[in-house]
Amino acid sequence: MIKIYAPASIGNINVGFDILGAAISPKNGTSLGDYITITPSDTLKIKNIGRFAFQLPKNMKKNIVWKCWKHFRKIIKTNTSVKITLEKNMPIGSGLGSSACSIVATLVAMNQFFNKPLNAIELLNIMGIIEGEISGEPHYDNVAPSYYGGLQLVINEDNFISQEIPFFKNWIWIVAWPGINISTSSARSILPMQYDKNTCIEHSRLLSGFIHASHTQQENLAIKLMKDIIAEPYRMQLIPHFLEMKQKILNIGAINFGISGSGPTIFVICNKISIANNISHWLQKNYLKNANGFVHICELDILGARNIEV
C-alpha cells in the first residue's frame, strides 16, 4: 500500500503569472491538500472520499485520477490494475491548485507503487500536461510547488522545469476561500490575448526585481515589487468588492494581498501573528459566503509531495 499527500499551492503570487508558485500548509496542522492511496486490485477501481468528494464527477473516466492513470499506464506499458482512493480535501475551482494536488499525489503514488520507473523531471512533465488538459495549456506554477515544495520558479529550460528560489521565513501566509468556485478556464478566458509593450516591460521589471530581492533577502524591496499587472486588473471583477477588501486588509497590517491563482481564493502576507489573527477574523466574518468556505493561517510547505505512513 502506498499513500501520498500533496499540499495546496498559491499560483502567480501577484508578480509571477504562470511561472511562480508556493506550496502552503496551515499552521494548525489541518490538511490543505489531497491524499492518494494505491493498493493492488484485479481491476481498476477509483474511490472518492474526503470533505470535497461530492464535487467530483460520478463518471470515473472524467475523474482526473483516471486521466493520470491513463497517461502513466501508457508510458510504462503495464497491464497491472490497482485500486486508487482519492481523499479530496481541496475544493475544485478554488484557486489553490486543487487539480494539481490530485495530479501530483496520484502520479507520485503510482510511480512509487511501480518501483519508480520515471524520474522527477519526467513525472513533473506529465503533471504539467495533465494540468493543461483542464486549464487549456500546460503550466507548472501549481504542480511544481505541490511536488517539490517551497517557492518554485518555472524555468522550463535545459531539463529544468522549475527551480526553488529563497523565501522570507518570517512571512505568514493567509488564504481565504469564500465557498464558491471559479473555473480556471473561465478565469483565463477573461484575460486579454495581447498586452501592450509598456505593460510587458513593467512586468519584466517587477518579476526580475522580485527574484533578485528574494535571492538577496531584501524583504521591503520584494514586497514593493509584488504587483499583479497581468491578471488582477481583469480578474478582480470576478470577486465582489475586491478593491475595498484589499484596502481594508492592508489597513489592518498586511504587507501584501492578491488573488491566488485564478481565484476566488485570496492570499494575504503579513509578518506578525497578531496581525494574521486579526485579518483571519475579518475574512471569516466578511469574505466567506457559506459553511464550505475557510480561512487558514499558513506557512510555506517545504516538503512538497510525501509519503504518509499507513
Instruction: State the binding site for ATP.
Output: 91-101
Please give the Cα distance from 270 to 278 (Å, whole number): 11
Please give the Cα distance from 247 to 254 (Å, whole number): 10
Question: Which residues sit in the known binding site?
Answer: 91-101
Which triple of cell numbers denotes residue 129?
Answer: 500536461
- What do you get for the CA distance between the two ends of the chain, in Å? 8
Give the distance, in angstroms, between the CA of residue 58 and the centroid of all CA atoms in the same chain: 24
Helices H, strands E: what count in the chain? Answer: 10, 12
To which residue does cell 457559506 refer?
Answer: 290
Q: How far is CA 220 from CA 29, 168, 210, in A?
A: 29, 11, 10
Please give the Cα distance from 259 to 10 (Å, whole number): 9
Q: How far is CA 27 from CA 24, 100, 207, 260, 263, in A?
A: 9, 21, 28, 18, 22
